[in-house]
Structure 1
Amino acid sequence: MKRALALALTLWCGAAIIPLARGQTAGSDYPQRAVAFLCPFPAGGGTDILTRMLAQELQEKLARPVIVDNRPGAGTIVAAQAAARALPDGHTILLAPVTTLAMAPSVHKSLPYEPVKDFAPIGLVASAHFALVANPQVAATTLPELIAFIRNKDGELSYATSGAATPHHLFMAMFLKMIGAKAQHVPYRGSVAALTDVISGQVAMMMVDLAVAMPAIHDGKVKAFGLTGTMRTKAMPDLPTIAEAGLPGYAARPWFSV
């Protein structure tokens, strides 16, 4: 299972974590205490999975506890604000997805943090595969059929996200714009809660982290219609990209930084 999750994420751990661990001088006493690793989403989601994988590796390198601290809310703003207000001594680290550093500043007129001034960048650590999934009761088996179904519903369908201005939200908004259709946005505090309601039928569809959705896809609890990126993944080699499946030109893939 861990290997499948790693395949659903493209990890660049060595680009950030190892330099952080080895970048201290021989006489450095860092870290002096446990390191807090802030995650901007609830436990169980794709970002949380990535944070815990990195925290484990960092803990082994530093020989000090690295504690994952989930701070969900406001589309990653809660965690980012906490990190910005923490003492600048290296004992608070933020897993910052594209939402925090690029999407939120583009969407919100003001933020309680300054993306450039308030953080010291360490590096990019991963990108993720996202997939378009829907409840099995949705009357479509292919992407063209799903597009036609959404258009015919004329705004009646709803889609779940992990919050406003997140990849889950903006990737779906871009998809809807490209197909010339509307749907109702239902934000949640994380992708696990959102996917749960797609499975139950409370919400029709969503763009979701593949690492989170794979078990539900394999068990037939949701239908998968395509990946948001430009390439397929070894984790699910038979799942085409959205562009391959019937919407040429569609491409979106999130990145994560520390």
Structure 2
Amino acid sequence: MRLISWSRGALGLACLLASASATVHAQAAWPDRPLRVIVPFPASGATDLVARVVTQRVAADLGQQMVVDNKPGAGGTIGTAEAAKAPADGYTLLLTTSSTHAISPHLMPRLAYDPRKDFTPVAHVADAPSVLLVTNSLPVKTVGELVAYGKAHPGKLNYATSGNGTIVHLNTAAFSAQAGLEMTHIPYKGTALAIPDLIAGQTHVLFDSLPTGMPHAKAGRLRALAVTSEKRSTLAPELPTLAESGLPGYSSVTWFGVYLPAGAPPALVARVHQAFAKAVQAPEVAASLAKLGVEPAAPSTPAQFGAMVQADSNRWATVIRQHKITVE
């Protein structure tokens, strides 16, 4: 009886060791097949282009193909919800922006995912600052002059956005609140449609992306006053920040980051983080991102990335609540 009992115990122990060995081997072999990178926005958009630039370098590091899978719709929330349901085995990643994790949760209370509970933050990849543009018909050349003009003409200024609840809308709402201005919101279906009216003087203020806004400023069709980032942008170093221009603490960028589904093993998170952090510091990657109006993110840990996103989310929640912003 003792012999039989010992044999069963030995067999159980052998099975346990075999299972553990298989798990270690599987983790050590990762990745042994192509990886899927869900981008919850359309092909050829900013997030898609950033993903393709960065993942090409990451794929070379990992030794496996990375397939960008565009899943657009509902402001990025459809693809994000799909990523949340994927296995946490490292073969499905999400490359997304502020929109899905810091803004949409406060505009769409019935999301099919929880940005904190359903995801593991992995890597802060890049940031895209915006530029404050004004029409040439305004007699202002600095942020201070714009604020003074707005206060002297309450309710006379209007601002264009790419729609309710977009980062352009939130940037302007935060700016007007901190500056103490009363401005009228004129929503468009994209900033490209707003530019002609801004040039014509039918609207007065627009926070636009650097790649689409700066060419008009450099051509003299519009006037660029400042950038929204915490520090001066390497893409337009001649422009001061809004914080430098009399709005201390103002800082806003569209960030790009990588997530794994919740439950991903720490070792896997560390390996994916390492690959993306290394990729965005490569000179050729930084140069390609610059052409998109995007700057590589400063080095940070996954925990620091998660904390940054939460702080961003808290700030936009306040702006949305104070201005009663909704999406139609």
User: TM-score, normalized by length of structure 2?
Assistant: 0.58
1:5-35 per-position Cα deviation (integer Å, ceiling 9, x unaligned): xxxxxxxxxxxxxxxxxxx844335434x62
Given that 1:37 and 1:51 are in contact with CA atoms closer than 8 Å, whether structure 2 keeps it comes out as: no
Query: Which residue in 1 is equivalent to 2:240?
Result: 240
Equivalent residue of 2:244, what SS? helix
CA–CA distance in structure 2, aligned partners of residues 219 and 70 of structure 1: 36
Query: Is residue 220 of structure 2 the alignment partner of residue 220 of structure 1?
Result: yes
Given that 2:38 and 2:70 are in contact with CA atoms closer than 8 Å, whether structure 1 keeps it comes out as: yes
Task: Give the number of the structure whose alpha-carbon radius of gyration is greater.
Answer: 2
1:12-68 per-position Cα deviation (integer Å, ceiling 9, x unaligned): xxxxxxxxxxxx844335434x624314366343x3442232232233334415225
Structure with the largest fraction of helix: 2
Q: How does 1:154-165 map to 2 (within 5 A)?
A: 154=155, 157-161=158-162, 163-165=163-165
CA–CA distance in structure 2, aligned partners of residues 97 and 239 of structure 1: 24
Query: Which residue in 2 is equivalent to 1:28?
Result: 30
Q: CA RMSD in A?
A: 3.1
Q: How does 1:174-185 map to 2 (within 5 A)?
A: 174-180=174-180, 181-185=182-186
Equivalent residue of 1:40, what SS? coil
Structure 2: which amino acid aligns with 1:67?
V
Gaps of 5+ in 2: 1-25, 259-328
Q: 1:86 to 1:27 in 2, by over 3 A?
A: closer
Given that 2:96 and 2:256 are in contact with CA atoms closer than 8 Å, whether structure 1 keeps it comes out as: yes
Structure 2: which amino acid aligns with 1:213?
G
Given that 1:55 and 1:68 are in contact with CA atoms closer than 8 Å, whether structure 2 keeps it comes out as: no
Deviation at 1:138, TM superposition (A): 4.1
- Using the TM superposition, name which of 171-180 and 219-228 deviates more: 219-228
Query: Is residue 169 of structure 2 the alignment partner of residue 169 of structure 1?
Result: yes
Q: Give the share of equivalent positions with the same residue, in percent.
A: 27
Given that 2:160 and 2:194 are in contact with CA atoms closer than 8 Å, whether structure 1 keeps it comes out as: no
- Using the TM superposition, name which of 236-245 and 61-70 deviates more: 61-70
CA–CA distance in structure 1, aligned partners of residues 208 and 33 of structure 2: 35
Given that 2:40 and 2:71 are in contact with CA atoms closer than 8 Å, whether structure 1 keeps it comes out as: yes
Query: Where in structure 1 do 4 or more consecutive aligned residues deviate above 6 Å?
Result: none
Query: Is residue 102 of structure 2 the alignment partner of residue 83 of structure 1?
Result: no
Given that 1:40 and 1:80 are in contact with CA atoms closer than 8 Å, whether structure 2 keeps it comes out as: no
Given that 1:42 and 1:72 are in contact with CA atoms closer than 8 Å, whether structure 2 keeps it comes out as: no
Equivalent residue of 1:244, what SS? coil
User: TM-score, normalized by length of structure 1?
Assistant: 0.71
Structure 2: which amino acid aligns with 1:197?
A
Q: 1:248 to 1:119 in 2, by over 3 A?
A: closer
Q: How does 1:87-166 map to 2 (within 5 A)?
A: 90-151=90-151, 152=153, 154=155, 157-161=158-162, 163-166=163-166
CA–CA distance in structure 1, aligned partners of residues 217 and 91 of structure 2: 38
